[in-house]
């Protein structure tokens, strides 16, 4: 059974561990998404987000180090579900442009889930007086937001139109 969480300090660490595992799952999923993407701009934006994700993990590692605790111990079942759904919809798409549209939809769910998670973690950091951590978490939330906006631009720029019946 999971450990009991008694206060906001512990909830903060728990939330960070969950985010850490979520990012690890994304690092595993992104190469497959890069591989599956048909459009070069979509491939490129997934590649860029993989680099960004590594830096986000470094940022979390730094927080764990300063808190003198471990990043291990949590499985993010929310991210597991989002990635499973993404896999499913990717396999169902029989056309390359429809698959790109589906990949974008799946990726945007991931970004929004992360934005929510980092927003919560940032609020805890602030409540606990960890201004520096709050800033770092805010930077990550901002990067997830930028990734989300970029995906909207790609979808609305050409993919959705190309995925329609010709």
- Burial classification of residue 79, based on how many CB atoms lie within 10 Å of its CB (0-12 exposed, 13-18 middle, 19 or more buried): buried
x/- mask, Zn ion, residues 69-88, rule CB under 5 A, reads: -------x-x----------
Q: How far is the CB of 145 from Fe ion (least distance, A)?
A: 9
Q: Does 56 bind Fe ion (CB under 5 A)?
A: yes
Q: How far is the CB of 112 from Fe ion (least distance, A)?
A: 10
Q: What does 78 bind: Fe ion, Zn ion, none (CB cut-off 5 to 8 Å by kind)?
A: Zn ion
Query: Which segment (16-24, 33-41, 42-50, 143-151) binds Zn ion by CB under 5 A?
Result: 16-24
Measure CA 70 to chain center: 20
Distance CA 73, CA 17 (A): 7
Between residues 14 and 41, which has the closer beta carbon with respect to Zn ion?
Answer: 14
Distance CA 50, CA 60 (A): 15
Q: How far is the CB of 89 from Zn ion (least distance, A)?
A: 20
- Burial classification of residue 18, based on how many CB atoms lie within 10 Å of its CB (0-12 exposed, 13-18 middle, 19 or more buried): buried
Q: Which of 13, 18, 71, 104 binds Zn ion (CB under 5 A)?
A: 18
Q: What does 148 bind: Fe ion, Zn ion, none (CB cut-off 5 to 8 Å by kind)?
A: none
Distance CA 41, CA 17 (A): 32
- Residue 11, CB-side half-sphere exposure with 13 Å CA sphere: 12
Q: Does 144 bind Fe ion (CB under 5 A)?
A: yes
Query: Which segment (11-19, 43-51, 127-135, 137-145) binds Zn ion by CB under 5 A?
Result: 11-19
Residue in the structure block whose two tokens are 């010709």: 166
Distance CA 129, CA 131 (A): 6
Q: How far is the CB of 82 from Fe ion (least distance, A)?
A: 11
Q: By rule CB under 5 A, what count of residues binds Zn ion?
A: 3
What is the contact surface with Zn ion in residues (CB under 5 A)? 18, 76, 78
């Amino acid at each position: 059974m999971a450990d009991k969480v008694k206060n906001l300090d512990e909830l903060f660490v728990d939330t960070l561990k969950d985010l850490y595992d979520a990012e690890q799952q994304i690092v595993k999923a992104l190469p497959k998404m890069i591989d599956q993407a048909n459009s070069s701009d979509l491939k490129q934006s997934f590649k860029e987000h993989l680099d960004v994700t590594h830096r986000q993990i470094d940022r979390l590692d730094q927080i764990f180090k300063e808190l003198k605790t471990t990043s291990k111990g949590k499985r993010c079942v929310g991210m597991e579900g989002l990635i499973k759904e993404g896999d499913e919809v990717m396999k169902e798409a029989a056309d390359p442009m429809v698959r790109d549209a589906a990949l974008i939809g799946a990726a945007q769910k991931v970004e929004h889930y992360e934005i929510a998670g980092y927003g919560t973690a940032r609020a805890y950091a602030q409540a606990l007086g960890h201004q520096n951590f709050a800033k770092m978490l805010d930077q990550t939330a901002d990067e997830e937001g930028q990734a989300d906006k970029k995906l909207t631009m790609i979808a609305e720029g050409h993919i959705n139109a190309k995925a329609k019946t010709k």
